[in-house]
Each structure stands twice: as C-alpha cells, then as structure tokens.
Amino acid sequence: MQIAQNSVVAFHYTLTNDEGEVLDSSEGREPLTYLHGAGNIIPGLEKELEGHAAGEKLNVSVSPEEGYGELQEQLMQEVPRDAFQGVESIEPGMQFQAQTQGGPLMVTVKKVEGDTVVVDGNHPLAGQKLNFDVEIAEVREASAEEVEHGHVHGEGGVEH
Ligand code: ZN
C-alpha cells in the first residue's frame, strides 16, 4: 500500500547536514512512526514520502523553510544571569524551558558573558538544509480513532 492521507508509516532514517555530518538516526532503534497528513513530521519530508511503499528507500533533501524554519535573529536573546535561579553553573549547550508570550519555548545557551547569558530559541536544526536517507519499514491504514486524535496509537505511537 502506498503512503497517502491517513496512512500510518514506520520508517528508518539517517539525517545528515550538507557537510555529511550525521545529526540523527534511527539506526539501532525502532523505526519512527507517524500519521501521514497530520503534520507529525516536517512538511518537506512528509511531502516526499507520499506515494511510496514499504521496502522503498529514498533520499530526501529538505530546505529550511520546509524543515525547521529559517534562523530567526529575534529568537537570540540576552538574559540576565539572575533569570536562572537555582542553576549553579550555566554552560553553552544547556537547554532550558523559557516562558514567552507565545507559550513555553525551548532555548539553548549559546554563551555566557559575565552576568549575561545569550540564549537561542531557534530549533537546533533551524536554518539548515537536511538530507534524509529513508527506508520505509511499514505502511498501514490508520484507525478512525488515530485519525481523530491526529497521531499513531500502539507500537511507536502514543499509549493512552
Ligand atoms: Zn490518541
């Protein structure tokens, strides 16, 4: 069966950047499972998987705008050290949940300069072209309940 709206798809992937660096991979893990057409995965990848079937392998290049977005300068912010109460030492690379007007946002510490901490609210993969090596493991039809919830249930999905 081919991947279409409301297919449940399980696939293995290796994600590399343009330098060939491996950023993420499902190797040695269960395949990633998602509900097709529900926005569970980045749009550029979802679009390219459409029409393919189990057993197929494909290479997909995803631009930032169809991936995790372009880098947004305004998401880089200087925060006073005092804002991190209860945190003994702050190092670049640490991640914190920040409360913003738009709701909670995951930020990464870029650098610490004296009493000022520079944090970045961009997704770590924002602004990057992403190359996925995909192998489709399984395609099945979603249940009515999965379609209603907008996500996969059972193996590789949400248990509830
Ligand atoms: Zn559910």
Q: Which residues of 16-47 are buried (b: 16+ CB within 10 A; e: fewer)?
A: beeeeeeeeebeeeebbbbbbbbebbbebbbe
pLDDT for the residue 65: 96
Please, where in the chain does CATH 2.40.10.330 lie?
73-120
pLDDT tens profile 58-111: 999 999 999 999 999 999 999 999 988 889 999 999 999 988 888 888 999 999
pLDDT tens profile 49-73: 999 999 999 999 999 999 999 999 9
Q: Separation of 102 CA from ligand 1 center, angstroms?
A: 25
Q: Separation of 35 CA from ligand 1 center, angstroms?
A: 11
Q: Separation of 155 CA from ligand 1 center, angstroms?
A: 12
CATH topology of domain 7-68+126-149: Chitinase A; domain 3 (3.10.50)
Q: Separation of 89 CA from ligand 1 center, angstroms?
A: 39
Residues within 5 Å of ion ligand 1 by Cβ?
149, 158
Q: Separation of 148 CA from ligand 1 center, angstroms?
A: 8
Q: Separation of 11 CA from ligand 1 center, angstroms?
A: 20
Q: Separation of 145 CA from ligand 1 center, angstroms?
A: 7
How many Å from the N-terminal Cα to the C-terminal Cα in the chain? Answer: 27
Long-range contacts of 148-151 (CB under 8 A, 24+ apart): 150/35, 150/38, 150/39, 150/40, 151/34, 151/35, 151/38, 151/40
Q: Separation of 87 CA from ligand 1 center, angstroms?
A: 36
Please, where in the chain does CATH 3.10.50.40 lie?
7-68+126-149
pLDDT for the residue 35: 98
Q: Separation of 126 CA from ligand 1 center, angstroms?
A: 28
Q: Separation of 39 CA from ligand 1 center, angstroms?
A: 15
pTM of the prediction?
0.81
CATH topology of domain 73-120: Thrombin, subunit H (2.40.10)
